[in-house]
Structure 1
Amino acid sequence: MRKLDERTWRGRGLTRARFLAGMAGVGVAAGGLPAGYAPTAEAAAAGATGAEGVRPGLRHRGVVYTVGAGGTPGTAFRTARMRRDVAAIRDRLHADTVEVTGDGVERLTATATEAAERGLRIWLQPTLGDVPERDILDHLAETGRCAERLRRQGAAVELSVGCEFWLFVPGIVPGADVFERIRNLQQGRVDPVAMQRRLNRFTAKAAAVGRSVFRGRLSYAAAQDDEVDWRLFDIVGIDYYSFFPDRGGYVRELRRYLRWGKPLAVTEFGTCAYAGAPETAGMGWDVVDHEKNPEEIKGHLVRSERTQAAYLMRLLDVFSSLGLYAAMVFEFVTPDAPHRPGDPLHDLDLASYALTKTLQDRPFDPTSGWHWEPKEAFHAVARRYAREQPAP
């Protein structure tokens, strides 16, 4: 089973925005409540919040940690590096939750186990894509069994059955890979009714697989305007990349996701470290010319780590005011987007959402070793997480 191209992972925000533009073009409206929906008592007991009677404070403070195989020999997954990163997430970032995501059951299992041993809450989310449906469900089942073992051993763990299935699961939207599916959406070569039917079918299958192997709380990471039957899940999960000039816009939008009467987790949020990146509403990564060798930054961007930090603080303020269940910053580190100080044309970190910047020992050498250093956003999030305790 092959992994997704690393650029695809870096581009979740962009692919989401392109998808929404494509869906608007073919006349698909944003999803509403499923017919006959009523909030369950279990959901209310789990800590759901709404527009009225909101408990202030973000209950769980997290970060996304991707465990892919790596795009180059130098960025391949290393257990020792992962262990140091998980320690830094707890001790330096002061997060209480880590979203362990990516493909490869061994990588997911090793990372989740390390997080559990360090006392972190785990949001485990397998995201294998662009392989047959059966392989994706088998990968989910095996990962879910790991989550259940950790849960029975006393770890705080929740399982997400996946991320934005319309994008990563073949057969829902026509196309051999992520990029072809997006093009088909943009060009109107998709039957939206049939697409939604296929998406609903696979989501129900994934939920059933998750329930069959995992006895804890189940979720799914949806794009912002996805139509999802949240009766299948215990926690509403949203990948959130909006931009509004004022706080009220975020509050109004996020309250839509509270109407199911279930806890809301923001499973991804973030932006890049250059002036104007938040205003791209998730498209901030689309500043690299991948046709060049070496890859180049397009345009004349002004690096601004302060811009990234300020955006994250604004959203964390909003999430806290709404009393959300959890929020996970996207992401801890992006090894395949190295920072090259003094070389803005090749500073690929400008296209990264990471809280850290990757520095290669030998720039432009795909076998080079590397290390990360904190960005301003890392320090801002760490200060915030250190002083903000979970709501009781």
Structure 2
Amino acid sequence: MEYTEQSKGISRARFLAGAAAVGVAAVTVPAVGAAAASRGLSRRGVVYTVGAGETPETAWSTARMRADLRVIRHDLHADTVDVTGDGVERLTATAAEAAELGLHVWLQPTLGDVPQRDILEHLAECGRFARRLRRQGASVELSVGCEFWLFVPGIVPGATARERIANLLSGTVDPVGMQRRLTRFIAQAAAVGRSVFDGRLSYAAAQDDEVDWSLFDVVGIDYYGYHPDRAGYLADLARYRRFGKPVAITEFGTCAYVGAPESAGMGWDVVDYEKEPPEIKGGLVRSERTQAAYVAELVDVFASMSLYAAMAFEFVTPDAPHRPGDPRHDLDMASYALVKPLQDRGGWHWEPKEAFHALAERYARLDCGQVGPHR
């Protein structure tokens, strides 16, 4: 999910380095065993954010949402859409449309930077809607949120995500106290989710978060790891199986420039928002091929491990336009989106990136049962 205007400069909503900053201990990685012998991926998805946008032109709209979901269903060959963001009306309208198209709905409300009671009530409203949708025959799961230490005030000091990140980087946050507060709020959110929703429940954690997964039916991980070979990914991901529950990759992806995968979850942090207009730092070289290769490799890995679900982050980032011929201001270069927004006289439109086509090819083959690595 992208941040709003108030948190410019941290536009990707995943600060995975924060786990290390607060001192989370490393986990012993078990060997990949016989469970990885079968191949497949039960849910093939993409994250679709329903944010308010930074301008009226880039804000969520019913017409654009409907058109995008049809592309996701028919052209991307996804069978699942992770409907995320804030605003009950936007979330529920998008979830209902996705269900109408026959997509599996992974509903994940992520209201942030407001009092905790408001976040829980927002979750409850969305959960009640998800229950109604499910009882009408739709395929729906509910995620109670993602990376609460980043979005929810009161866990890490700071009124906004930007302030919380600054405090984490300063090294002044007590990791024990932070973990205690995080564990408490995750439990509260899980209890709210269970009280309003009667289907599978999950939470989207950062890669090294400590979570009591006994509260949930599915282990959800926002995964932005980088390894030079496939064996590294297999070993890294195997640790999430130790909980004995289905594993869903609730986010994965990278940006469209040379070297982005090696930056892992920090690939977005290459924009200087102090300048007007914002400018790409460091003379980066745009490379849609780099993004496409990473996405394709990860899908092959997930399928080889027979993980439950994978949702690519994300379909579109309207506030990160592509500016052909102007690499210093090509904000799409620092975006994880599968399509690139382009300005036009009527506002903007998007065009697919190479990562869109690579993911569509993988998802189509998985849909047909052809689950081996691409040749």
- Normalising to structure 1: TM-score of the pair? 0.90
- Of 236, 247, 260, 1:253 maps to 236
Q: Distance in 2 between matches of 1:52 and 1:75?
A: 47
Give yes or no for the alignment of 1:313 onto 2:296.
Answer: yes
Q: How do residues 239-388 of structure 1 correspond to structure 2 at under 5 angstroms?
A: 239-361=222-344, 369-388=347-366
Residues 56 and 321 in structure 1, CA contact (< 8 A), matched pair in contact too: yes
Runs of 4+ in structure 1 off by over 3 angstroms are 3-10, 30-33
Listed one character per residue, the Cα deviations across residues 109-160 of structure 1 (whole Å, up to 9, x for unaligned) are 0000000000000100000000000000000000001110110011111000
Q: Partner of 1:228: helix, strand, or coil?
A: coil
Q: Distance in 1 between matches of 2:168 and 2:90?
A: 33
Give yes or no for the alignment of 1:22 onto 2:21.
Answer: yes
Structure-1 residue corresponding to 2:33: 51
Q: Partner of 1:10: helix, strand, or coil?
A: coil
Residues 161 and 219 in structure 1, CA contact (< 8 A), matched pair in contact too: yes
Structure-2 residue corresponding to 1:232: 215
Change (3 A) 1:252 1:32: closer
- Highest relative contact order (Cα 8 Å, sep 6+), 1 or 2? 1
Amino acid at match of 1:22: A
Give yes or no for the alignment of 1:168 onto 2:151.
Answer: yes
Q: CA RMSD in A?
A: 1.8
Q: Percent identity?
A: 72
Residues 141 and 210 in structure 1, CA contact (< 8 A), matched pair in contact too: yes
Amino acid at match of 1:161: V
Structure-2 residue corresponding to 1:217: 200
Q: CA deviation at 1:10?
A: 3.3
Residues 53 and 319 in structure 2, CA contact (< 8 A), matched pair in contact too: yes
Q: CA deviation at 1:8?
A: 7.1
Residues 166 and 172 in structure 1, CA contact (< 8 A), matched pair in contact too: yes
Q: Partner of 2:16: helix, strand, or coil?
A: helix
Q: How do residues 105-116 of structure 1 correspond to structure 2 at under 5 angstroms?
A: 105-116=88-99
Listed one character per residue, the Cα deviations across residues 329-380 of structure 1 (whole Å, up to 9, x for unaligned) are 0000000000011111111101100000000115xxxxx6111000011011
Change (3 A) 1:264 1:7: farther
Q: Which residues of structure 2 form unaligned runs of 5+?
A: none
Residues 32 and 227 in structure 1, CA contact (< 8 A), matched pair in contact too: no
Q: Distance in 1 between matches of 2:337 and 2:363?
A: 17
Q: CA deviation at 1:325?
A: 0.2
Q: CA deviation at 1:7?
A: 4.1
Amino acid at match of 1:11: R
Q: CA deviation at 1:179?
A: 1.8
Q: Distance in 1 between matches of 2:368 and 2:265?
A: 28
Q: Distance in 2 between matches of 1:184 and 1:126?
A: 25
Q: Distance in 1 between matches of 2:41 and 2:8?
A: 31
Structure-2 residue corresponding to 1:365: none
Q: Partner of 2:22: helix, strand, or coil?
A: helix
Q: Partner of 1:238: helix, strand, or coil?
A: strand
Q: Which residues of structure 1 form unaligned runs of 5+?
A: 34-49, 363-367
Q: How do residues 35-184 of structure 1 correspond to structure 2 at under 5 angstroms?
A: 51-54=33-36, 55-184=38-167
Moved more, 110-119 or 275-284: 275-284
Structure-2 residue corresponding to 1:41: none
- Normalising to structure 2: TM-score of the pair? 0.93
Q: CA deviation at 1:53?
A: 2.9
Change (3 A) 1:76 1:113: same
Q: Distance in 2 between matches of 1:4 and 1:337?
A: 12
Listed one character per residue, the Cα deviations across residues 168-197 of structure 1 (whole Å, up to 9, x for unaligned) are 110111112112212222222112111111
Listed one character per residue, the Cα deviations across residues 239-258 of structure 1 (whole Å, up to 9, x for unaligned) are 00000001011100100000
Q: CA deviation at 1:301?
A: 1.1
Amino acid at match of 2:171: G
Amino acid at match of 2:290: T
Residues 126 and 143 in structure 1, CA contact (< 8 A), matched pair in contact too: yes
